[in-house]
Amino acid sequence: MSHYVKDVLIPRAEIAKVVDDLARRISDDYAGQEIVMVGVLKGSFIFLADLVRKITVPVVIDFMSVSSYYGGTKSSGVVKIIKDMDTDIQGKHVIIVEDIIDSGLTLNHLKDLLLTREPASLRVCAAFDKPERRKISISADYLGMPIPDEFIIGYGLDFDGQYRNLPDVCILAIDGGNE
Ligand code: IMP
Ligand code: MG
Give a yes or no: residue 99 inside a domain: yes
Enclosing domain of residue 79 = 12-148
Give a yes or no: residue 2 inside a domain: no
DSSP secondary structure, 108-141, as one string: HHHHHHHHTT--SEEEEEEEEE-GGG-SS----S
Give a yes or no: residue 7 inside a domain: no
CATH number for the domain harbouring residue 38: 3.40.50.2020
163: left (phi over 0), alpha (psi -120 to 50) or beta: left
pLDDT by residue for the chain (179 residues), tens digit each? 788 888 999 999 999 999 999 999 999 999 999 999 999 999 999 999 999 999 999 999 999 999 876 554 444 567 789 999 999 999 999 999 999 999 999 999 999 999 999 999 999 999 999 999 999 999 999 999 999 999 999 999 999 999 999 999 999 988 875 44
* β 169-175/2-10 pair status: antiparallel
Nearest-angstrom CA–CA distance, 102 and 62 = 23
80: three-class secondary structure by DSSP: strand
Tell me which residue has its CA closest to atom 8 in ligand 1: 102
Question: Which helix (DSSP H) or strand (DSSP E) does residue 10 occupy?
Answer: strand 2-10
Q: Which ligand is nearest to the CA of 103?
A: 1
Say which of 50, 99, 102, 129 is annotated catalytic.
102
> How many structural domains are present in the chain?
1
Enter the pTM of the model.
0.93
Q: Which ligand is nearest to the CA of 126?
A: 1
Give a yes or no: residue 4 inside a domain: no
